Amino acid sequence: MTAKDNFLRWENSDNLDSTLREEMSKMSEQEINDAFYTNIEFGTAGMRGVMGAGTNRINIHTIRKATAGFANYIKNNGQEAMNRGVAIGYDNRHFSKEFAFDSAHVLASNGIRAYVFESLRPTPELSFATRYKNCFGGIMITASHNPREYNGYKLYDEKGCQLVPALADAVIKEVNAIEDELSVKADVTKEQESLIEVIGKEVDDAYYEKVKSIQLNPNVNKDFIKIIFSPEHGTANIPVREILKDCGYHVIPVLEQCDPNPDFANTKTPNPEQEGAYELALEYAKREQGDIILVCDPDADRMGVGVKQGDEYILLTGNQSGAVLIEYILSQLQEKGKMPENPVMFNTVVTSDLGEKIAKKYGVVTEKTLTGFKFIGEKIAKYEVNHLRNYVFGYEESYGSLISPFVRDKDAPQACLMLAETACFYKAQGKTLYDVLEDCYKEHGFYKETQTSITLAGQAGAEKIQSIMSRLRTSRLESICGKKVISWQDFDTFEEGCENEVKPLEGFTKSNVLKYFLEDGSWIAVRPSGTEPKVKVYYCIVGSTMEEAEQKAKEYETFMKGLMNE
User: Closest Cα to residue 264, out of 432, 151, 186?
Assistant: 151
Pairwise CA distance, residues 454 & 457, whole Å: 10
Pairwise CA distance, residues 441 & 337, whole Å: 26
Helix (H) or strand (E) holding 316: strand 312-316
The 10 Å CB-count burial string (b at 16+, else e) for 3-16 is beebbebbeeeeeb
- Strand 226-230, strand 292-296: pairing: parallel
Q: Answer whether 349's CB lies under 8 Å from 368's CB.
A: yes
Angle, helix 412-427 to helix 433-444, in steps of 10 degrees: 90
Torsion angle of alpha carbons 390, 393, 395, 399, nearest 10°? 160
Q: Answer whether 485's CB lies under 8 Å from 497's CB.
A: no
**537 strand-pairing partners:** 452, 526
Pairwise CA distance, residues 426 & 436, whole Å: 8
Pairwise CA distance, residues 423 & 395, whole Å: 19
Helix (H) or strand (E) holding 537: strand 534-543
What is the sign of the dihedral through the CA atoms of 473, 479, 480 and 481?
negative
User: Closest Cα to residue 16, out of 220, 260, 181?
Assistant: 181
Look up 144 and say whether it is catalytic: yes
Q: Pick the catalytic residue: 96, 144, 511, 522? A: 144
Which residues does the annotation mark as catalytic?
Answer: 144
